[in-house]
Amino acid sequence: MRQEKIHVTVIGAGLMGHAIAQVFLAGGHNVYLHDRNREILADAPGKIRDIYNLLKQDPSTLINLTCEEALWDAVQNAELVIEAGPEKLEIKQAIFAQLSELAPDTAILATNTSAIPIHEVSAKVVNRSRVVGTHFWNPPHLVRLVEVVQSDKTALSTVQRTISLLEGVAMKPVHVKHDIPGFIGNRLQHAMKREAIALVSAGVCDAETIDTVVKHSFGSRLAILGPMEQSDLVGLNLTLDILTVLFPTLDNSTEPPPLLVDKVKRGETGMATGKGFRDWTKESAEQVKNRMRDYLTKQSSREV
């Protein structure tokens, strides 16, 4: 169902911001994009056009994009502002303090923070009932979920309006009812990483084997069978029997694992440096990125 056209402002035209802008443009809205870095802002329309091309979408709605260097001009008529600036609390608080003054009182102020609690981001906003988390996943034009995070200050009406706007641009919003670190998706993802790193650290297998096991077992069906429906499918009695044996043996450390800390100390941070949990060449890293993009593009065209 087509909804009304509104004025959406995206703050930060980096990796996430330009792609979030494309989602709202393709959904028929007027989008103002602001970045304090002029070059990044100037490059944004080209990158947004690339997304239209990748998705084979009609790029005519690009005409509704305004790249705006002045924050005031970008937000003065905004109905929804989505902040996608750096993941640094002091920068986000400063942006939100400005939004509190410059955006209309009725505008929803949303943050794309990955992990910072929404009540901390909104600390300097006068009316905090209109501040909400909208955690998009990368890349937002291919991964549809958005976690809409409600802090104890956020009005339910803000959450409901945000969810309705996101549904109107073909995203899949879910309501996160508590302002907890990592929201839902990253908590699940990192719970698995904790166990994966523990298995490698204990010498049960190497990092490549972890990836093989996940991709070729439960990972191959995860996109169509979530863990709760899978439990119901096999029966909760079997799930209980397995958990009773497993839970006492699962990793439950509360500090980052030494294997990870040591690798970061040595500068072995992953594909960018050629070595992380696994070894990478430029070509093999590129192959993984392209494989992911092509797979997600195919999936997303099936969903439409």
Ligand X SMILES: NC(=O)c1ccc[n+]([C@@H]2O[C@H](COP(=O)([O-])OP(=O)(O)OC[C@H]3O[C@@H](n4cnc5c(N)ncnc54)[C@H](O)[C@@H]3O)[C@@H](O)[C@H]2O)c1
Considering the complex, what minimum distance in angstroms separates the CB of residue 216 from ligand X? 25
Q: Residue 9, interface with ligand X (CB under 6 A)?
A: no
Whole-number Cα distances in Å, 105 to 70, 109, 131, 269, 281: 19, 10, 11, 43, 51
Both structure tokens of 108? 């929803």
Considering the complex, what minimum distance in angstroms separates the CB of residue 37 from ligand X? 4
Give the count of residues interacting with ligand X (CB under 6 A): 24
Considering the complex, what minimum distance in angstroms separates the CB of residue 47 from ligand X? 11
Which residues, 199 to 238, sit near ligand X by CB under 6 A? none
Q: Which of 48, 95, 146, 163 binds ligand X (CB under 6 A)?
A: 95
Q: Which of 6, 10, 16, 67 binds ligand X (CB under 6 A)?
A: 16
Considering the complex, what minimum distance in angstroms separates the CB of residue 34 from ligand X? 6
* CA gap 169, 113 in Å, rounded: 20
Which residues, 38 to 77, sit near ligand X by CB under 6 A? 40
Q: Which of 21, 35, 107, 158 binds ligand X (CB under 6 A)?
A: 35
- 93 or 239, CB closer to ligand X? 93
Question: Could you count the other beta carbons within 10 Å of the beta carbon of residue 49?
Answer: 14
Q: Residue 17, interface with ligand X (CB under 6 A)?
A: yes
Considering the complex, what minimum distance in angstroms separates the CB of residue 121 from ligand X? 9
Region from 29-37, 159-167, 201-209, 220-228 binding ligand X, contact rule CB under 6 A: 29-37
Considering the complex, what minimum distance in angstroms separates the CB of residue 3 from ligand X? 24
Considering the complex, what minimum distance in angstroms separates the CB of residue 181 from ligand X? 12
Which residues, 130 to 149, sit near ligand X by CB under 6 A? 136-138
Q: Which of 87, 101, 152, 286 binds ligand X (CB under 6 A)?
A: 87
Which residues, 235 to 274, sit near ligand X by CB under 6 A? none
**Which residue, 152, 146, 138, 140, is CA-closest to 180?**
152
- 181 or 235, CB closer to ligand X? 181
Q: Residue 81, interface with ligand X (CB under 6 A)?
A: no
* CA gap 292, 286 in Å, rounded: 10
Residues in the site for ligand X, rule: CB under 6 A? 11-17, 34-37, 40, 84-87, 91, 95, 112-114, 136-138
